[in-house]
Copies of this chain bind each other. A is one copy, B any other.
Amino acid sequence: MGEFDLIGRIRARAGTRGDIVLGIGDDAALLAPPPGRHLVVTADTLNDGVHFPHGTSPADIGWKALAVNLSDLASMGADPAWCTLSLSLPQSDAVWIDGFLDGFLSLAERHGLALVGGDTTRGPLSLSVTAMGFVAAGDALRRDGARVGDDVWVTGTLGDAAGALALLERDPTHVLRARLDRPTPRVSAGLALVGLANACVDVSDGLLADLGHVCARSGVGARVEMQALPASDDLRGSFDNIERAALQAGGGDDYELCFTAEVSSRDAIARLASSLDLRITRIGRITGGDGVIAVDAAGAPWRPPRTGYDHFG
């Protein structure tokens, strides 16, 4: 299968939307952004063996390549619209591509997102996605809006993906593996948090690291109650308390939303959790200091063994 057959195979399944004037097949896509809204743009790359274990199924790779980008749109409160995909493959392989598209496009369809362009090249397995969405002007959830006294919240559970990674050699098909391979971008939650959250970030580097980004950009500090961090039963069943806490606080790849909101919004957030059927847990407070302090049940400082994933650390 040559490059143009491969592109044709992708194009035939790329999906469409009413605001796409011209999709895949020209030098560039032509798109009609809705008037008066801001365009939200994010780009993330996954490399074989770095962002997913070597040997991950093509469908899972496709899902994750889009999910990590949708998660960034979600954390801004944006409505997903379009994406481009740059695909580097060691060799052209129709079965691999079909599997990849199964994962990628099933997630795209779920969020009404269409693939509008990109390219395919020969090279080490790598997926670069740029995702675009919209938000009303002034409505975006940003990292720089946290205020002293805000509650700190997180969606879903933490540490599952890092737990799967920790168990990878011993038990590569552990039940937690699904959370590593198929993270759930919290798009509906992000949209619903517009007007409720003061600041928001997605948990990709690890909770304390990502909350640290919010604090740095907002000029505030945060105090996190370690015993409040939400854990799945699968995570509890697989690690002791010390290991588990480290995975929850520092493990990357969760793709949950961590946000801050005023104390007066607690009831609204509880209703939101109920309507979305999504766990949303209050885990701490924004403070006047700087940096993130994690404390144990006795209020003593908890020191994480790692504070997030630094690709060049």
Contact = CB atoms under 8 A, between A and B. Distances in A.
Nearest to A6: B312
A47 B122 contact: yes
A93 to B, nearest CB: 9
Nearest to A78: B28
Nearest to A92: B312
A203 to B, nearest CB: 11
A22 B143 CA distance: 11
A208 B299 CA distance: 72
A37 to B, nearest CB: 9
Contacts of A40: 28-31
A86 B22 contact: no
B312 A122 contact: yes
Interface in A1-51: 1-4, 6, 21-22, 25-33, 35-36, 38-48, 50-51
Nearest to A40: B28
Contacts of A237: none
B30 A42 contact: no
Contacts of A143: 25-27
Interface string A161-194: 0000000000000000000000000000000000
A76 interface: yes
A137 to B, nearest CB: 7
Interface in A100-136: 116-124, 126, 128, 130, 132, 135
A85 interface: yes
Given A28-B78, A124-B123, A126-B88, A117 B41 contact: yes
A91 interface: yes
Contacts of A2: 310, 312-313
Contact of A3 (B27, B82, B312): B312
A198 interface: no
Interface string A140-160: 101110000000000000000
B28 A311 contact: no
Contact of A84 (B41, B75, B92, B311): B41
B130 A84 contact: yes
A72 B119 CA distance: 12
Q: Which 7 A-B pairs have the closest CB atoms?
A: A128-B128, A47-B123, A92-B312, A28-B42, A43-B84, A130-B130, A45-B86
16 contacts: A4-B310, A22-B142, A26-B217, A28-B41, A30-B76, A30-B135, A30-B140, A31-B38, A43-B84, A44-B86, A44-B119, A86-B86, A86-B128, A89-B312, A123-B124, A124-B124
